[in-house]
Amino acid sequence: MLRETLTSAGLFLIILLSTPLTAQSVHKGVPDEPPLASIVQGMQRAEANLATQAPYQVLREYRLFSGNNATPNSHVLATVNFRPAAGKDYRIEDQSGSRRGEQVVRRILDHEVEESTRPAEEQAGALTEANYDFDYISQTVLDGHPCYLLRVKPKRRDKNLIVGEVWVDQTSFLVRHIEGELVKTPSWWLKQVLLKVTFNEMQGAWLQTDVEASADARLVGRQSLNSHAVACQRPNIVAATTMPTVAPQNSHKKQPINRVPAEVLFDLTRKLP
């Protein structure tokens, strides 16, 4: 589902970043560490297996911010459905604040839906050897999970690719976190786009659970978009027959903090005053 992750358009080209990468450098770790090529191959196998996981439905919360304002300009709730072979579809459940928020979220989700019908290795932001070089940095621990930390560098300047770091679970070889900067901004309006994408298991499904994207936009300053997976249900889990209702955020603030994508800023920022 890294492929969910670098995916498509609006105030922030935030999509779900697809993943798998390969090795170009020589691994110089300690003997009990697997070669870099083995880590990459494990990532690719794990990513490919996600396309066949059981159907799920996830409720996501999106919040858009301007400048250093702690109060979002817009709040959107959307339900995303995944079915093997068929891919994804979505439904907007609620929105408050600026209507721009819904426009941005629809563009992001439209791109995610489109990418979900393609093989993982063919998705725009896929971490494959065709798109990236990467280096082994170290072993580390992320939220209690032992991980391999890799540095990734795009082979070309493309708005769907990032330069940064990837945390790979040592047991499952699934990507748990991606953090970096788009190697090429989507337009002249943007000076820099930073992304953080987190993945976790929910109800037995491996999902992009949190995305933080921010950009320095010319004339209008910093713009940011956060998304958070509020809940997940599986058809085979009887207890999860109804998704929880989440009220639009007004005075009550919910702080959320993974696959990412990249097309989110230009269309939104050019409409800003």
For residues 58 and 52, the model is more confident at: 58
pLDDT recorded at residue 63: 96
In the numeric block, which tokens belong to residue 64?
């858009």
The H-assigned helical ranges of the chain are 2-5, 36-50, 100-116, 266-269
Answer whether residue 111 shows pLDDT above 90: no
| Strand order across the beta sheet in which 74-83 lies | 87-97, 74-83, 56-66, 221-233, 205-217, 190-202, 175-182, 162-169, 145-154, 132-142
Q: What is the pLDDT of residues 196-236, one digit of tens each?
A: 999 999 998 999 999 999 988 777 778 899 999 999 998 76
pLDDT recorded at residue 188: 72
Which residues lie closer than 8 Å to 268 by C-beta, 6 or more apart?
10, 11, 12, 100, 103, 104, 223
Most confident range (mean pLDDT) of 13-17, 29-33, 213-217, 259-263 is 213-217
Whole-angstrom distance, CA of residue 61 vs CA of residue 157: 31
Q: What is the pLDDT of residues 237-248, one digit of tens each?
A: 533 334 554 444
263 and 187 Cβ atoms separated by less than 8 Å: no
Largest CA distance in the chain: 57
228 and 60 Cβ atoms separated by less than 8 Å: yes
For residues 190 and 223, the model is more confident at: 223
Note the Cα 242 to chain centre separation in Å: 25
210 and 183 Cβ atoms separated by less than 8 Å: no
Which residues lie closer than 8 Å to 239 by C-beta, 6 or more apart?
none
Q: What is the pLDDT of residues 121-172, one digit of tens each?
A: 566 567 777 889 989 999 999 999 999 999 999 999 888 889 999 999 999 9
59 and 231 Cβ atoms separated by less than 8 Å: yes
Answer whether residue 109 shows pLDDT above 90: yes
Nearest in space to 169 (alpha carbons), one of 10, 43, 82 = 43
Give pTM, 2 decimals: 0.73
Nearest in space to 77 (alpha carbons), one of 259, 254, 269, 239 = 254
Confidence of residue 25 (pLDDT cuts 50, 70, 90): very low
Answer whether residue 86 shows pLDDT above 80: yes
